[in-house]
Amino acid sequence: MKRSVFALPVVIAATALLLTACSAAGADPASSGAASGPIKVVASTNVWGDIAGVIGGDHVSVTSIIDDPNQDPHDYQASARNQLAISQAKIVITNGGGYDDFVTTMVKAANTSPTELNAATISGYDQHPSDGDFNEHLWYDFPTVDKVASKIAAAYAKARPADAATFAANEKKFEASVAKLTATEAQLKQTYAGKGAAITEPVPLYMLNAIGLVDKTPQKFSEAIENDTDVAPSVLEQTLALFSSRSVALLAYNEQTTGAQTQQVLSAAKSNDVPVVPVTETLPDGKTYLTWMRSNLDNIGAALKKSR
């Protein structure tokens, strides 16, 4: 079970007041899909929100609920305005896999019927694997991103048939850019496949696996960090030994979640000259999804080159 402290009861109670005020001002949630204005879209995070905006262009208005790069997404507090945005949305994009269940709860509370796109479902992956927890950080998995992009374009075309060709062209251009990222993963894999890697959380694992890197981190360590529980001393000792023994070529460190034990791991990597690659769960300021992923790949490539 992943960390989740999303606050909903107050949100749902306050939404009626906002909806009443909105109606008094002449707003009409039912008009969100009308041809006279942009298609209203709500995404659970700015990652999917950015992709939704690229594909929709000027024909969509996207609201991203989690959009603060300095905040741990697991600690997000949903607001009444989030609920209002969802009540007016024609399309809602969620990550799924237990990452943002609060959005589905808010859709049900809104008593509307938007088109819902769930990345975990779209991915086709087994969300209940027998060998461990499902990795819900699907935006680091380019095959899934392509599938979601296709579903977004299809949902837009259904909502606005007259602009279907534009959505298809935008999707094609986006997927061509993703293909370049996939090609970079393949190039890195040719040189570095089989090298060990350490993580604080499984955020970038899809990307690391695509490059052919082997996660050497004790599973109990990354699980404890992700679930915000204490790491057993013996597990922490095993993790720190990865760096003193130089068993890993890099440490991928989620800089949005910090704590005493993650700081110990970060210090151990630095003191043993193991390159550290910072990663995040949400889109950093000033970056698009594509430039962000390009930066991640460049940083991993530089770290691997340094470790040779």
Q: pLDDT digit string (tens) for 238-274?
A: 999 999 999 999 999 999 888 899 999 999 999 999 9
pLDDT at 247: 97
* Domain boundary pick from 157, 180, 203: 180
197 shares a domain with 175: no
pLDDT at 76: 72
User: Residue 120: which pLDDT band, with cuts at 50, 70 and 90?
Assistant: very high
The reply to whether 127 falls in a domain is yes
What value does the mean pLDDT take over residues 120-124?
Answer: 98
165 shares a domain with 268: no
Range of the domain at 60: 9-180
pLDDT at 2: 53
CA distance 180 to 184: 6
Q: pLDDT tens for residues 147-173?
A: 999 999 999 999 999 999 999 999 999
User: Residue 78: which pLDDT band, with cuts at 50, 70 and 90?
Assistant: confident
41 shares a domain with 167: yes
Q: From edge to edge, which strands make up the β-sheet containing 250-254?
A: 214-215, 196-199, 250-254, 276-279
175 shares a domain with 225: no
210 shares a domain with 152: no
20 shares a domain with 168: yes
User: Residue 133: which pLDDT band, with cuts at 50, 70 and 90?
Assistant: confident
* Cα torsion through 179, 180, 182, 184, rounded to 10: 170
User: Residue 107: which pLDDT band, with cuts at 50, 70 and 90?
Assistant: very high
Count how many domains the chain has.
2
The reply to whether 264 falls in a domain is yes
35 shares a domain with 158: yes
264 shares a domain with 230: yes
The reply to whether 187 falls in a domain is no
15 shares a domain with 133: yes
The reply to whether 151 falls in a domain is yes
The CATH code of the domain that includes 108 is 3.40.50.1980
165 shares a domain with 26: yes
* Domain boundary pick from 158, 180, 202: 180
Q: pLDDT tens for residues 272-282?
A: 999 999 999 99
The reply to whether 95 falls in a domain is yes
pTM of the model: 0.88
The reply to whether 204 falls in a domain is yes
Q: Do 40 and 87 touch, CB atoms closer than 8 A?
A: no
60 shares a domain with 142: yes
197 shares a domain with 176: no
The reply to whether 186 falls in a domain is no
User: Residue 9: which pLDDT band, with cuts at 50, 70 and 90?
Assistant: very low
